[in-house]
Amino acid sequence: MSTSSSSTAQARGATSRRSGVGTGGPAVAGAPTSPVRKVPLRMAARRLTVLRVVDLSRSMRRVVLGGPELAGFVSDGPIDHFKLFFPDASGALVMPRLDEERWVNRDEPGLLYRDYTVRTFGVPALTHDAAVDELVVDLAVHDHGPAGRWAGQAAPGQELGTLGPRSTKAAPLDRDWYVLAGDETGLPGVLNWLDRLPEQAPVQVFLEVDGPADEVELSARAAMTVTWLHRNGAPAGSTSLLSDAVAAADFGARAAGESTGTGTGLGWVWAAAEASAVRAIRTHVTAERGLDRSSFAMTGFWRLGVENFDHHSPEA
Ligand SMILES: Cc1cc2nc3c(=O)[nH]c(=O)nc-3n(C[C@H](O)[C@H](O)[C@H](O)COP(=O)(O)OP(=O)(O)OC[C@H]3O[C@@H](n4cnc5c(N)ncnc54)[C@H](O)[C@@H]3O)c2cc1C
């Protein structure tokens, strides 16, 4: 296993941002609750068509979805997620059915769904053709489950179902520093954060992938360091690369507010990856760094050996 590091400017000299943009106001030091604000959305099921597929890396494919049923889709936050419905083994796509926004066929045979992050929605990211909306999802390709396998064979003209998002979440864009960590499944969220954070915000990014061929190009920022962590053939979810790297990062103690090398003041740590890695990061930031839920949000996006892991479960 190895670590490669590419960095643009080191984080320093950034101005403190406390505008409350997207947050409803800055979080208060010591506040016990997360500052992520949810705005509930109308639940809807949609049958969408794959318009384009783009390889972002050896193991990450961008799938662009469209179609008339995209009308009314809403998503605005960096961590908004929804369910994708895939064809079953026979190739049939069983769609979710709603009764007054309540999902009623959750146990129907053939229903095959997984959670995904809304990467972008709206004006097409790739063609910039403002005439039609497009929904973009970045999917990890792997052989361990049906969604990972579907991503590997995705092609224009295929159909997927969607359900949600159930809410759009405004998250803090006004902090003095950011630490973002993810494996392949957290990478779309990291890209979303980077798209939204103010250009001068000091950001440290930690991304775990198998090797250099799995790295994705990140747009340059004024004050960002990016550390790619390589599993080098070790199975995804089997290493402590990501949690070790975050634990070794110089982001300092939020409560004390002293200079930490990534800036001073109130920070934000976001992580999404295999559940045990996320658990280790959560334990570290709370026990070792003294952060409370006003300063981080993190979720186990999948769990080694578990099919369709429920990210609302206590193990997440
Ligand atoms: C809120 C949320 C947002 C998410 N956003 C994204 C996203 O934008 N892009 C994305 O790619 N994923 C995302 N995920 C993760 C994705 O839902 C899971 O990886 C899902 O388990 C994949 O389904 P599957 O059918 O391939 O595997 P499953 O059938 O669920 O699991 C089968 C086996 O595969 C293993 N497995 C699952 N995922 C992986 C993986 N990535 N690598 C190696 N082994 C794996 C499991 O441990 C299990 O042993 C998100 C998850 C959540 C909860």
Between the CA of 8 and the centroid of ligand 1 the distance, in Å, is 30
What token pair was written down for 259? 């200079």
Name the closest-CA residue to atom 27, ligand 1: 145
Pocket test for ligand 1, best of 80, 82, 113, 144 (most atoms within 8 A of CB): 144
Between the CA of 204 and the centroid of ligand 1 the distance, in Å, is 24
Residues 242, 229: contact at Cβ < 8 Å? yes
The residue that leads in pLDDT, 145 or 315, is 145
What token pair was written down for 277? 């890695």
Between the CA of 270 and the centroid of ligand 1 the distance, in Å, is 18
Amino acid identity, position 134: E
Q: In sequence order, what are the residues at sequence separation of 6 or more whose Cβ sits closer than 8 angstroms to the Cβ of residue 91?
A: none
**pTM of the complete model:** 0.88
d(CA 141, CA 113): 16
Atom of ligand 1 nearest to the CA of 115: 17
The residue that leads in pLDDT, 171 or 287, is 287
Between the CA of 103 and the centroid of ligand 1 the distance, in Å, is 21
Between 47-61, 168-182, 246-260, 301-315, the lowest mean confidence (pLDDT) is in 246-260
Atom of ligand 1 nearest to the CA of 139: 11
Between the CA of 301 and the centroid of ligand 1 the distance, in Å, is 7
**The predicted structure's pLDDT at residue 121:** 86
Instruction: Confirm or reject: Cβ of 184 under 6 Å from ligand 1.
Output: yes
**The predicted structure's pLDDT at residue 30:** 43
Percent of residues, the chain, with pLDDT higher than 70: 82
* Closest among 64, 94, 100, 96 to 83, alpha carbons compared: 96
Q: How confident is the model over 64-91, as pLDDT tens digits?
A: 999 999 988 989 899 999 999 999 989 9
Instruction: Confirm or reject: Cβ of 144 under 6 Å from ligand 1.
Output: yes
Amino acid identity, position 4: S
Between 127-131, 136-140, 176-180, the lowest mean confidence (pLDDT) is in 127-131
Q: What are the counts of helices (DSSP H) followed by strands (DSSP E) for the chain?
A: 4, 17
Between 7-21, 48-62, 199-213, the lowest mean confidence (pLDDT) is in 7-21
Instruction: Confirm or reject: Cβ of 303 under 6 Å from ligand 1.
Output: yes
Tell me the domains of the chain and their CATH numbers.
Answer: 2-36+171-302 (3.40.50.80), 39-167 (2.40.30.10)
Instruction: Confirm or reject: Cβ of 161 under 6 Å from ligand 1.
Output: no
What token pair was written down for 217? 């190009």
Q: How many CB atoms lie within 10 A of CB 84?
A: 23
Pocket test for ligand 1, best of 137, 185, 276, 312 (most atoms within 8 A of CB): 185
Q: In sequence order, what are the residues at sequence separation of 6 or more whose Cβ sits closer than 8 angstroms to the Cβ of residue 49?
A: 65, 66, 67, 157, 158, 159
The residue written with tokens 């489950």 in the block is 145
Instruction: Confirm or reject: Cβ of 182 under 6 Å from ligand 1.
Output: no
Instruction: Confirm or reject: Cβ of 11 under 6 Å from ligand 1.
Output: no
Residue 224 has pLDDT above 60, yes or no: yes
Atom of ligand 1 nearest to the CA of 189: 8
Instruction: Confirm or reject: Cβ of 116 under 6 Å from ligand 1.
Output: yes
**The predicted structure's pLDDT at residue 132:** 65
Q: Is 153 exposed, middle or buried (0-12, 13-18, 19+ CB in 10 A)?
A: exposed
